[in-house]
Amino acid sequence: MPRSFESILYEIRESLVMALVALRTNKLRSILTLLSMSVGVFSIIAVMTAMGVMVNSIENGLSQLGANTFQVQKNQEFESDNPRDRAKLRNRKNIQHSEGILVKERASLAKIVGLEAWEGGKIITTTDGKKTNPGVSLVGEDVEGFATNDWLIGDGRLFTQDELNSGRHVAIIGTVVVQKLFAKTDPLGQTIRIDGQEYEIVGVLAEKGGMLGGNQDNFVAIPLTTFFTIYGHDRDIHIMVQSTSRETYEDCIEQVRGILRAVRHVAPGADDDFHIFSNDTLIQSFNDFSKYVRLGLLFISAVALIAAGVGIMNIMLVSVTERTREIGIRKAIGAKKKNILTQFILEAVVVSQLGGVIGILFGVIAGNIIAFMLSVPPVIPVDWTIIGFVTCSLIGIIFGVYPAWKASNLDPIEALRYE
């Protein structure tokens, strides 16, 4: 009689039921096996969820530029690990204010060009002696820079063109600075000191939110001209350009590239001695950088899973020894090798899968706790969930085969005599 597909299905179902019964009757061991699997899968899923969350967060954070906007700066935001590249980058000339002005004048495809220069690690003090930590950034900004940065005024007003031209000591502050220094008073009209200079607060920025635990709201903006007067005129600046439309974006980038190559005397055929990035290139370079992190973590997780697999095999082997009598009984009343083999493999697989599901669940939760902390939307890594599930099924099979094979080959009478 040919064995129909149906009868094979039936047999698997029976073995599954028996495996489940056996798992229920050997609770402690099942739980231990399950745990080792959970831990392995947990580590993969937690790490991958966390990576997903971080990518999201960084993408959110990096999408700081307004629409159709790109930025030109001297160096790349994520450093290359090639030492030759690094040396080359160090020797680059600063982007001068005059070069920024030229772009403003000549870039016909640009709707807005904003210029800015940054200083880090400032302490801000108030007239009544309050102080911030020395971690506040100071930016010299022109009026257009607020638009290209997508910075909105929450309270007060922007610098006037006049204030900018005459280099007045006025400031617009981020919400973190407000919380630190003006929790109870109105900051508008107050005076703050930075590096010995006094500034009158004319505006407060709307909150932008944190990125990767860092903060986009922890800075003070002063007019760009004022910044140059105090910190030097040859400072390296960022040029931010918004194209006239989505369609002109690529051309606009090329136009600005051409202008800068000309004024910076870059030889034809030589690489740019400046870096242009858009939201896309920023995310791209982050992904390049995080690829190695991912690979490393994947390797660690694979090791964890193999360890879990070996753990399962070990526990299954102990299980087979302990259940020798049971196997003997089953064989004595007519179990075929195949029956015992399927039962023990299925036990291993079911335990691995159960462990896997638990691991996936907790992994996703743990990964998303990070999302919660970074206040970015939660992530469910569907691909990794599936990969995790399939992987632990495979591990269950691979590491379950040997113990199951051992069980199925026991001699019935020897097994029955086993104490």
Partner 1 sequence: MNNNSVVISLQQIKKIYDMGGVEEVQALRGVSLEIQKNEYVAIMGPSGSGKSTLMNIIGCLDTPTSGLYEFNTVNVSEMNDNQLARVRNKEIGFVFQTFNLLARSDALHNVELPLIYAGVPSVDRKRMAREALEHVGLGDRIHHKPNELSGGQRQRVAVARALVNRPSILLADEPTGNLDSKTGDEIMILFEELHRQGNTIILVTHEEYIAEHAYRIIRIRDGMVESDTPVERRAKVLAAVS
Instruction: Determine, following the binding rule CB under 8 A, whether residue 272 of this chain makes contact with partner 1.
Output: no
Which residues, in sequence order, are bridge partners of residue 289?
none
Site for partner 1, residues 30 to 89, rule: CB under 8 A: none
> Cβ contacts of residue 15 below 8 Å, gap of 6+?
339, 342, 343, 346
CA pair distance 19, 322, nearest whole angstrom: 16
Reading the block at residue 149, the tokens are 């940065």
Instruction: Determine, following the binding rule CB under 8 A, whether residue 328 of this chain makes contact with partner 1.
Output: yes
- Using CB under 8 A, pick the residue from 150, 337, 361, 405 that binds partner 1: 337
CA pair distance 163, 347, nearest whole angstrom: 77
Which one, of 15, 35, 44, lies nearest residue 346 by Cα? 15
Instruction: Determine, following the binding rule CB under 8 A, whether residue 96 of this chain makes contact with partner 1.
Output: no
> DSSP assignment of 74-88, as one string?
SS-SS--S-HHHHHH
| Residue span 383-412 as binding mask against partner 1, x where in contact by CB under 8 A, dash where not | -----------------------------x
Please say which residue, 11 or 236, places its beta carbon nearer to partner 1: 11
- Using CB under 8 A, pick the residue from 8, 9, 14, 245 that binds partner 1: 14
| Residue span 288-327 as binding mask against partner 1, x where in contact by CB under 8 A, dash where not | -------------------------------------xx-
Please say which residue, 216 or 324, places its beta carbon nearer to partner 1: 324
Q: How many residues in the shown chain lie near partner 1 by CB under 8 A?
A: 25
CA pair distance 383, 380, nearest whole angstrom: 9
C-beta of residue 385 within 8 angstroms of C-beta of residue 360 = yes
Instruction: Determine, following the binding rule CB under 8 A, whether residue 334 of this chain makes contact with partner 1.
Output: yes
C-beta of residue 163 within 8 angstroms of C-beta of residue 201 = no
CA pair distance 305, 44, nearest whole angstrom: 9
Only one of the segments 11-19, 36-44, 159-167, 204-212 lies at the binding site for partner 1 (rule: CB under 8 A); that segment is 11-19
Residues at the site binding partner 1, with contacts judged by CB under 8 A: 7, 10-11, 14, 18, 21, 25-26, 325-326, 328-339, 412-413, 416
